[in-house]
Structure 1
Amino acid sequence: MTLLSLKEDRPTPKAVYNWRVYTCAAVASFASCMIGYDSAFIGTTLALPSFTKEFHFASYTPEALALLQANIVSVYQAGAFFGSLFAYVTSYFLGRRKSLFIFVTIFMLGAGIMLAANGNRGIGPIIAGRVLAGVGVGGASNMVPIYIAELAPPAVRGRLVGIYELGWQIGGLVGFWINYGVNTTLEPSRKQWLIPFAVQLIPGGLLLIGTIWLRESPRWLFAKGRREEALRVLCWMRNLEPTDIYIVEEVQFIDEDLERYRTDVGAGFWKPFKSLKQSRVQWRFFLGGMLFLFQNGSGINAINYYSPTVFKSIGITGTNTGFLTTGIFGVVKTTLTILWLLYMVDLVGRRRMLFIGAIGGSLCMWFIGAYIKIARPTGSGRMSPGGIAAIFFFYLWTAFYTPSWNGTPWVINSEMFDQNTRSLGQASAAANNWFWNFIISRFTPQMFLKMSYGVYFFFASLMILSVFFVFFFIPETKSIPLEHMDRLFAVKPVRKANKIIMEQLRREDEEFRHNVQGLSIEADEKSNIQQLERTESA
């Protein structure tokens, strides 16, 4: 298959893959630029000499400094945890688009408050601002994958949700490099460390403007009974007329899905909570949470938030050297995310990428941990051949992790829930992500102080466990329409579920089109008979 080939669930007009659906996904993904930048810049900012001097880091004991750094980083994740839950409320009553506007406004307020910090006021404004910024990105992390999944044609759903992940990596790339830039071009001063904090306002501002242009999710509009508006938005998204058979089929799928869940679960704010009594719904909530446990258990956020600490453990010293190594890490992640977005997620598939990433990444972590245990690098003098090999395996780990566990859990969680539980399910998934993110960011400094090389063995072991989890419990979701996810998760064995459902959908589509064609022929024949009768009567 070629790079941009598509595996479709049914014959699809080329007009469906138009600029509108890609632009909506790209605009919404400015939210992930905010998240990626915030996740990346803070670790190196805490290591800037101008920042450490302004807030008197030298006066702290190693344990107290580790606690302070952990608090600065982790309050952001704590805020994001609650923001992802608040988003369920706003998305139900206000929709996806207005919710996104609310949360980006909260983020902008938090980013602005951080700029008030200085040596006299103390670090309080940064902590308070990061709490608010966390609430904003938590809500956005809930909204954007749902919004993109609901507007996406099935064949490119992974690719479009992948734009969200690409935005995360672009923001992260800027965040990883910005402190290298200010440290090499500016004299140590308050301005030097303030610039990285101010840059947060750029992606937030772009998203704030973009929400004015975005359209509401047509599936949310159908669920609220606003059918005329929903059909108008759907036709605009697909660039097709309401009478086109593709639109007729899609509306039929949505209506059937909504009717089934109104019967099984019922409409209303609290009804999805009642559906949690059903074991099949509980099971998918559990799977979503576990995916993010294993994602964070890979060690990615320990690296994102504390990259100088991570590279120092391998033997890299010097502020600029550490920043440069971190920046290269960001380049590798962004490059591989583009490859994942264009090719791997919709062609290679979700399951296979998770297998490859976990096995390869685990082997790399084992090597790095073993090197540190044996060589005990001190960071003095030139890097040994073993140290160079450890750096190579670190970047190789990045190459395994990025196109697999980095974005794929977001894709799966955005598509595996039904219409009535999608917002609640995504809220649960996002909350799980930020909860485990908080745990890692809160305790990583202490883990490196106490465990040394054992940190790498810990992450390597979790990655191996994730292989068994995915093999037995996660079906392949690529190309399956959102309205048929229940059928997919009901098929056993899990490894064959996608192939079985795709074949069933192919047969059903052939039957539907045959019936439509038959009705059309019958209508034409009836019209011809009526015309003949009128002619004879005349």
Structure 2
Amino acid sequence: MTFGGLLFGYDTGVINGALDPLTADLGLTALTEGIVVSILIFGAAFGAMIGGALSDRHGRRHNILLLALVFTIGTLGCVLSPSWQVLALFRFILGLAVGGASATVPVYLAEIAPAERRGSIVTRNEVMIVTGQFAAFVINAIIFNLWGEVDGIWRLMLLVAVLPAIGLFIGMLRLPESPRWLVSQGRDEEALAVLSQVRTAERAQAEMAEVHRLAEEERVAKTAGRVDLGVRWVRVLILIGAGLGFCQQFTGINSVMYYGTQLLGDAGFSGDSAIIANTLNGAFSVIGITVGLLVINKLSRRTMLLGGFALTTTFHLLVGLSALLMPEGGAKAWLILVFVVLFVFSMQATIGPLVWLILSEMFPLKIRSLAIGISIFVLWMANALVALGFPPVVAAMGISNTFFAFAAFGVLAIVFIATCVPETKDRSLEELEDDFRARYS
């Protein structure tokens, strides 16, 4: 089941090491590089919306099976692409699957898991996403160093993603539909049968009551609409959620996860060394999110978020200063690598998981679906803009000025969080709603 998260990570990360041979093969410019990379993210933004709607209409299991097929078709289309335009088309299709997975897989995991294991199982999906990116970096490094001189080697790098897609499809054939979705469709007997497969008989009966309660919460949560957007405190809360998504992406984390190999090459590493060194970004991404999940409930959300942005902004400045002031050579390349790796670790240990957690905690039930949908759409679009703009911006401004720009965004993010973002740890939704009504009504 976590193959969905693994595919999400692999398909967003595989382009990193494949981009240099792909650029040489298809004659990409800085702009068309940005298009080929970012179009997957634009597709994901729409895939998240479409995937959520299809999941509600046809069921979580049905939707994940469909997504596994789309992953396969998108991957094979990318592998066989004769031009960058065709590659971009199939990258967009692949993005629809990535976005659909981001909207469906965590929901399915939350609805099928026992209550006491729900948190650990759902967060495991986040770990699998960064693990998928790390796996892409390692596999790319192995393939490139063994067969880097072979024409079209980037096609083999992309082809590897077919294996987890097939694994996801076969695995889902053996898994049941979400009992919560079945209850929402009035299919109580089937829901009880599913619960009886994964729970004891007594617990299955007891859990049906909770499933009914959660289904009612889901129904209530979908009652928000245009009228609610006319209420000032609701608009402010949604803008804060969208702002968090924007700030998370304009740390530039995905410029490293998508273009890390090229970035390190520009810093001074040779082609073979850059693709190997880039695996450290993947490794410290996994380590960072693991550390983050261990400490996330031990600190206040705002303290951890402000600390995270202070760290990432500091490392942006250090990368920029290293690129600007250090003489060309191995010392400069290694120093930039160290600061980039520390940035990735700091980001994934704090801002990465925290933004998703705060979004899940800050919205009152009635507007939750609407507000989270808008916030995540803004997050995906900001991700896409960073992916689209990074190659031409680096080409025009250089590494140093690009990272100085990220540092400036970091300062603005710190001001935004300090003045606007509420503390959500150990506070009920009712308390948060009352605060915002009082401040902005």
Task: Check conservation: 1:358, 1:463, Cα contact below 8 A.
Answer: yes
- Mapped to 1, the partners of 2:208 and 2:311 lie a distance apart of 45
Alignment-derived partner of residue 55 in structure 2: 91
> Aligned pair in 2 of structure 1 residues 229, 408: CA closer, same or farther (>3 Å)?
farther
Instruction: Quote how far apart the aligned CAs of 1:467 are.
Output: 3.4
Task: Check conservation: 2:45, 2:380, Cα contact below 8 A.
Answer: yes
Instruction: Quote how far apart the aligned CAs of 1:426 are.
Output: 4.5
- Mapped to 2, the partners of 1:281 and 1:153 lie a distance apart of 33
Alignment-derived partner of residue 270 in structure 2: 318
- Mapped to 2, the partners of 1:225 and 1:457 lie a distance apart of 55
- Mapped to 1, the partners of 2:416 and 2:197 lie a distance apart of 40
Aligned pair partner of 2:155 in 189, 194, 217: 194
- Counterpart code for 2:26: F
- Mapped to 2, the partners of 1:225 and 1:419 lie a distance apart of 22
The alignment status of 1:465 with 2:407, answered yes or no, reads no
Number of residue pairs matched by the alignment: 435
Deviation per CA, 1:76-98: give whole Å up to 9, x if none. 11211221221232123123332
Alignment-derived partner of residue 148 in structure 1: 109
Structure with higher helix content? 2
- Mapped to 2, the partners of 1:156 and 1:168 lie a distance apart of 19
Task: Check conservation: 1:356, 1:400, Cα contact below 8 A.
Answer: no
Alignment-derived partner of residue 487 in structure 1: 430
1:67-466 equivalent positions in 2, closer than 5 A:
67-117=31-81, 121-151=82-112, 157-186=118-147, 188-190=149-151, 192-230=153-191, 233=194, 239=200, 241-242=202-203, 247=207, 250=210, 253-254=213-214, 257=217, 261=220, 266=223, 272=225, 275-279=228-232, 281-313=234-266, 315-341=267-293, 343-348=294-299, 350-375=301-326, 377-378=327-328, 381-384=329-332, 388-414=334-360, 423-452=369-398, 453-466=400-413
Which 10-residue stretch deviates more, 194-203 or 364-373?
A: 364-373
The alignment status of 1:37 with 2:1, answered yes or no, reads no
User: TM-score scaled by structure 2?
Assistant: 0.86
Q: Pairwise CA RMSD of aligned residues?
A: 3.2
Task: Check conservation: 1:103, 1:139, Cα contact below 8 A.
Answer: yes
> Aligned pair in 2 of structure 1 residues 323, 131: CA closer, same or farther (>3 Å)?
same
SS of the equivalent of 2:268 reads coil
- Counterpart code for 1:71: I
Deviation per CA, 1:311-365: give whole Å up to 9, x if none. 244x322101111111111111112223334x12344464443233211111111
SS of the equivalent of 2:251 reads coil
- Mapped to 2, the partners of 1:97 and 1:283 lie a distance apart of 35
Instruction: Quote how far apart the aligned CAs of 1:470 are.
Output: 3.7
Instruction: Provide the identity percentage.
Output: 25
User: TM-score scaled by structure 1?
Assistant: 0.72
Which 10-residue stretch deviates more, 73-82 or 429-438?
A: 429-438
Which 10-residue stretch deviates more, 248-257 or 291-300?
A: 248-257
- Mapped to 2, the partners of 1:396 and 1:466 lie a distance apart of 19
Question: Which structure's CA Rg is the greater one?
Answer: 1
Q: Spell out structure 1 runs of 4+ moving beyond 6 A.
A: none
Task: Check conservation: 1:146, 1:422, Cα contact below 8 A.
Answer: no
Task: Check conservation: 1:158, 1:411, Cα contact below 8 A.
Answer: no
Deviation per CA, 1:137-167: give whole Å up to 9, x if none. 1111122233334455676554333211111
